[in-house]
Amino acid sequence: MFDRYGSEADVSTGPGTQVVPDVRYRPEADDAGSRSGQGPLMLTLPSTWGVPVRTLLLILTLASSAAIASDPSNALPAEASQALHSSGHAAIYSLEPWQDPDKEVARLQGYEILGKSDLSDAQKSVAVGAFDSAIAGWDGAVAMCFDPRHALRTQFKGHVYDFLLCYSCQQMQVFRDGELLGGAGVAGSPNVLNHLMTSLQLPLSHSLDDMEENQKAEKTHQDAGLQRFLATMPPSIRPFWDADANLQAGMAPHGQPMEDLSAAFSSANPDRDAAVRTLLVWFGSGAGPWSGFPGYEVIAEQLLLTYPTESIIRAAQAPDASGALLEASARYFAGWDFYKRHPTDVALIPTSLKQRLFEHTLRTDDVADDDRRDRAKRAFAE
């Protein structure tokens, strides 16, 4: 699966997951067009894991670095090193590793070329020095990915050598006439190469920065959802939360723990209608999505399933129903668990309430949340 040099069998993880593309040599395709069918295989990791993708890669690093670590020299193949330090022509490339596979663009070894430039002797010296420094600074770790954003092409003894460098994954791969020749571990900062490419007016890849910014925004969003969830959590449930690290990590309780939690809530909330309103407000104050949400949000839904559908309908029909209560009602009645647990109760939902819940969903619509919109349409508008 994973060999020392990140061969075609390797899988990489970024804002998607990429299978390293077929690198069979076709000179006419290098700078003039793409090879059909190449590009990233997108894989969505559940946000409910609470683990940023880059953190996950670091956790998995040891598994993929063992093979490289077995070679303490961490040197490029002699032939590749000679080509890198030869006095011949060289060109530098700015690459985008997370490319659209259907986009018809110039590519280098399957990766989108954002820009390229021939190098003067002085510029080549800077670039080669940066590549040497990356290899010399390797700390023994690599990530399970290969997302190169910098590349150097040289010609040596009648062959074309491409050196693809991925700082974020700490790997370098070398190709001779399009065939994988070898590689090495790397470390360091891309600043020198970025400065050189900027001086040559080459556009830089910003996909990694964008991913990290998106992760920060997602974490901020999730933290805000958690705070809303905790603020509306029934007091009788809070002791269970405080005592259960698995619950805090997003794992929903099952079996006896759920029974204990349910008993505590029922004992503290004997008024059925008041209990339903409390649960609805709580269920409607989470992260937002109706699927792919933190596992602990199902507690409110599972407790609601123990109450008569008529009680939930009354709460949702109340003229003063809050936005959180309406959100929970729409999410509950459009949910798979309700249809599974109470299949005949669907007929109990009045048409006027369906319309109210559908209008609420549209009014509070997240344009990026197709799942929420589609679920509401199926449940209330068809």
What is the tens place of the pLDDT at every residue in 291-341? 888 888 999 999 999 999 999 999 999 999 999 999 999 999 999 999 999
Mean pLDDT of 1-28: 31
Examine residue 113 and state whether it is found in any structural domain, yes or no: yes
Q: How far apart are alpha carbons 173 and 17 in whole angstroms?
A: 18
Flag whether pLDDT at 355 surpasses 50.
yes
Q: Are residues 134 and 35 in the same domain?
A: yes
* Length of the chain in terms of residues written: 382
Examine residue 2 and state whether it is found in any structural domain, yes or no: no
The number of CA neighbours under 13 Å toward the Cβ of 381 is 13
Q: Are residues 26 and 120 in the same domain?
A: yes
Examine residue 253 and state whether it is found in any structural domain, yes or no: yes
Flag whether pLDDT at 381 surpasses 50.
yes
Q: Are residues 198 and 242 in the same domain?
A: no
Q: pLDDT (tens digit, 9 = 90+) per residue, 51-109?
A: 344 444 443 443 444 344 445 579 999 999 999 999 989 999 999 998 777 888 999 99
What is the structure's pLDDT at 71?
Answer: 52
Flag whether pLDDT at 225 surpasses 90.
no
Q: Are residues 179 and 262 in the same domain?
A: no
Q: Are residues 158 and 275 in the same domain?
A: no
25-34, 75-84, 141-150, 343-352: range with lowest mean pLDDT? 25-34
Domain that holds residue 313: 216-380
Q: Are residues 61 and 173 in the same domain?
A: yes
pTM of the model: 0.54
1-10, 200-209, 350-359: range with lowest mean pLDDT? 1-10
Residue 94 β-bridge partners: 115, 150
Examine residue 1 and state whether it is found in any structural domain, yes or no: no
What is the structure's pLDDT at 91?
Answer: 97
Examine residue 240 and state whether it is found in any structural domain, yes or no: yes
Q: pLDDT (tens digit, 9 = 90+) per residue, 182-224?
A: 999 999 999 999 999 999 999 999 887 777 777 888 888 888 8
Examine residue 36 and state whether it is found in any structural domain, yes or no: yes
Q: Are residues 70 and 139 in the same domain?
A: yes
Q: Are residues 137 and 286 in the same domain?
A: no
What is the structure's pLDDT at 250?
Answer: 79
Q: Are residues 133 and 58 in the same domain?
A: yes
Query: Which candidate, 18, 368, 364, 79, places its Cα nearest to that of 208?
Result: 18
Mean pLDDT of 118-127: 96
What is the domain count for the chain? 2
Mean pLDDT of 24-35: 35
Q: Are residues 180 and 245 in the same domain?
A: no
Last residue of a domain, one of 205, 228, 256: 205
Query: Could you tell me which residue, 211 or 24, shows the higher pLDDT?
Result: 211
Last residue of a domain, one of 205, 224, 242: 205
What is the structure's pLDDT at 218?
Answer: 81
Alpha-carbon dihedral sign for residues 28, 30, 31, 32: positive
Q: Are residues 333 and 238 in the same domain?
A: yes
Flag whether pLDDT at 380 surpasses 60.
yes
281-285, 334-338, 368-372: range with lowest mean pLDDT? 368-372
Examine residue 5 and state whether it is found in any structural domain, yes or no: no
Q: How confident is the model at residue 176 (pLDDT cuts 50, 70, 90)?
A: very high
Percent of the chain with pLDDT over 70: 81
Q: Which two tokens mark 33?
A: 């067009």
30-34, 102-106, 249-253, 331-335: range with lowest mean pLDDT? 30-34
Are 294 and 250 in contact, with CB atoms under 8 Å apart?
yes
22-26, 183-187, 244-248: range with lowest mean pLDDT? 22-26
Q: How confident is the model at residue 151 (pLDDT cuts 50, 70, 90)?
A: very high
Q: How confident is the model at residue 358 (pLDDT cuts 50, 70, 90)?
A: very high
Structural Rg of the chain based on CA atoms? 28
Q: How far apart are alpha carbons 8 and 159 in whole angstroms?
A: 21
Last residue of a domain, one of 168, 183, 205: 205
Residue 154 β-bridge partners: 90, 161
Examine residue 44 and state whether it is found in any structural domain, yes or no: yes
Q: Are residues 198 and 230 in the same domain?
A: no
Are 77 and 182 in contact, with CB atoms under 8 Å apart?
yes
Q: How far apart are alpha carbons 139 and 207 in whole angstroms?
A: 25
Q: Which two tokens mark 154?
A: 């040289």
What is the structure's pLDDT at 367?
Answer: 67
